[in-house]
Structure 1
Amino acid sequence: MGMKVFKFDNCDFVCAETLEQAIEFYTKETHLNESEIEVHEESLDEIMFIHTSELPDEEKGLEEPDALHFGKDTFVPRPFSWVIEGITKPCIIGSEEV
Structure 2
Amino acid sequence: MRRYLFHIHLLGTVNRDHTGSFHASDSQAVARGRSVADGIAEDDRHRSVIVTVERAGGPVLARVTATKAMPPWQSASSKFEHAWRELTGAAFVNGD
Q: TM-score, normalised by structure 2?
A: 0.31
Query: Bigger relative contact order, structure 1 or 2, given CA contacts below 8 A and separation 6+?
Result: 1
Greater radius of gyration (CA): 2
Q: Which has the higher strand share?
A: 1
Counting helix residues as a fraction of each chain, which structure ranks higher? 2
With normalisation by structure 1, the TM-score equals 0.30
